Structure 1
Amino acid sequence: MVTKASKAKGLSLHTGLNLVSGAHYGGWTGELSACEFDANDMAALARGQGLKPTVLLTKKATRAAVLASIRAAAKSLKSGDLFFLSYSGHGGQVPDVTGEESDKQDETWCLYDGQLIDDELYAELGRFAKGVRVLVLSDSCHSGTVTRAAPPPPGAAAPAKSRMMPPAVAMRTYRDHQAFYDKLQRDVARADGGRPADPDAALAQLAVSPRLTALAAQLKAAVILVSGCQDNQTSLDGEHNGAFTERLLMVWNQGKFEGNYASFHAQIKARMPASQTPNLFVLGPAAAFLRQRPFKL
């Protein structure tokens, strides 16, 4: 417990990728415009609240660097401390080889030299000590359903670019590195006693699935996750910020926001375009965390 004589410690990691390595993604580099801006703006926000930020941009945002930074935070932080993790970039998918349905897809973050599977992220969150508060903000697409809108009429402005890895690229990347991604999932499942660790499913079905309730209960830390969109939507890029990050910064209003996490999410959601609805999930003993002012140490 943090006493009056001790001050909570805050660390943060901000990852933003304006492109990925074509060497891993079958020649696709997935150029985006605003992800590095997002990461730098989140780092500035964190620094302003007394956290010590680490920023990993594009080529430096490798799997090894991101995992090493998360693990270092997990080792360093104790009860009452805060870890703020933000990701801005493409979201992708790989087939789930450890779940109950053969056609199930696992969501991913597209890091520079390879994808970080949601199973892995969940396992990393499990490393944090009891009483640590973890906030995860993801301005990326985690969509399992892809729809194609009609092309804009002549003379209309081009639509904002989606932060979703194209399905054909996802399939090609998985095909070229299948053994790698399958092993990652099986290693996580083995470490968890053979049970599939699927944070998205756990978050969505926590109230109805005893198995997933038990899985989530393994988390000692209090975790709040806010995604930029629903599972059947895409997150939009922009010139200076992603749509989600832009609205978040508007609501935060240079630190003038005074509500809690629940009202913070609600006000961001109210400002979003109809095509993109941010989602709020919690894991672990997060009730008290939700009632706190965002980013507060």
Structure 2
Amino acid sequence: MTTGLSLHVGLNKVDPAKYGGWDGELVACENDANDMARLARAAGFKDTTVLTRDGTVENITAELRKAADKLADGDILLFTYSGHGGQVVNLDGAEDEPDEFDETLVFFDREFLDDELYREFGRFADGVRILAFLDCCHSGSAIEVRELLSPEAMEQQFQTREPSEIENTSRLMPVLKQHEIYERDKEFYQGLQRELRQEKGRKEPASGLLISACQDNQLASDGPVNGKFTETLLEVWDRGAFKGGYRDFHRDILRRMPATQSPNFYTAGRPGDAFLGQRPFTV
């Protein structure tokens, strides 16, 4: 009998002492985590939820490692994150990041590099199905975003063209704050990137599926109850009435989203057609 474990992270704030006075307040991220946990529980997963103040690097990696110790070939991990997204400069412009940035999840105490998440996924046994849903911004710098998205498109998504108001209603860590924190902690992040790069060359990448809230050049919207992506995902899922595989699931979510926020479908390693063709959240 297969086992399904799920971890749901939702951060409505971060620690201002760690982010130069910025608390990153959002509205709907804890709701997203709780609603995804309910979905997972109904699908047969044993779920764990980590909210705001508990959403530290130590706590989240500890939960992922507990799951890695328990799951074996054929089992499944579901990981969901709702909160701010950010970026740090990619050391030496590594080939795996054509835009020369590492995307980050903005945890309570520091930014968590995308390669750190992949390292944690790499701890799982071969054959474990890894499924991740990330409701956060994975955009480039503010210059790139504002060049690629017209003022009209930004106003359509956020009902304003004012950059500060857009940052307040999206899940993008403010770009000036990203630069400030990176300059302050540059040595730490560069050392971490070197370590991760060395490890990456010694191990096959984990196989998994990521469906994220938007493309690299887009922003993810917060909301009064759920983030726009999570809200749409739950509507498409329709309490389990959805029929089809993961590509169908992504397609139907995409169709309901505004053109300014297009969820991404991304596979790492070799997740296999059997996994991708399963009904979503199959344990």
TM-score, scaled to structure 2: 0.88
Q: How many positions carry a matched residue from both structures?
A: 266
Q: Which residue of 1 aligns with 2:40?
A: 46
- Cα distance in 1 for partners of 2:14, 2:53 equals 7
1:32 aligns with 2:34: no
- The alpha carbon displacement at 1:98 in A equals 4.8
Q: Which residue of 2 aligns with 1:69?
A: 63
1:184 aligns with 2:192: yes
CA displacement 1:196-219 (0-9 Å, x = unmatched): xxxxxxxxxxxxxxxxxxx8xx13
CA displacement 1:113-150 (0-9 Å, x = unmatched): 00110111111111111111010000000101321837
- 8 Å contact from structure 1 (residues 61, 111) kept in 2: yes
Matches within 5 A, 1:41-190: 41-100=35-94, 104-144=100-140, 145-147=144-146, 149=151, 161-190=169-198
- The alpha carbon displacement at 1:265 in A equals 0.4
- Cα distance in 1 for partners of 2:228, 2:244 equals 21
- Cα distance in 1 for partners of 2:4, 2:94 equals 38
Task: Could you tell me which runs of 5 or more consecutive residues in structure 2 were left unpaired when the two chains were aligned.
Answer: none
- 8 Å contact from structure 1 (residues 16, 87) kept in 2: yes
TM-score, scaled to structure 1: 0.84
Q: Which residue of 1 aligns with 2:11?
A: 17
Q: Which residue of 2 aligns with 1:265?
A: 250
- The alpha carbon displacement at 1:97 in A equals 1.1
Q: Which residue of 1 aligns with 2:274?
A: 288
Matches within 5 A, 1:242-253: 242-253=227-238
- 8 Å contact from structure 1 (residues 98, 186) kept in 2: no
What RMSD, in angstroms, separates the aligned Cα atoms of the two structures?
2.2
Task: Could you tell me which runs of 5 or more consecutive residues in structure 1 were left unpaired when the two chains were aligned.
Answer: 1-6, 195-214
Amino acid paired to 1:171: H
- The alpha carbon displacement at 1:247 in A equals 0.3
Specify the SS of the correspondent of 1:65: helix
- 8 Å contact from structure 1 (residues 98, 185) kept in 2: no
- 8 Å contact from structure 1 (residues 16, 89) kept in 2: yes
- 8 Å contact from structure 2 (residues 139, 217) kept in 1: yes
1:255 aligns with 2:249: no
CA displacement 1:56-109 (0-9 Å, x = unmatched): 100000011111111111111001101000000000011111543798111000
Amino acid paired to 1:167: V
- Residue identity over aligned pairs, in percent, reads 48
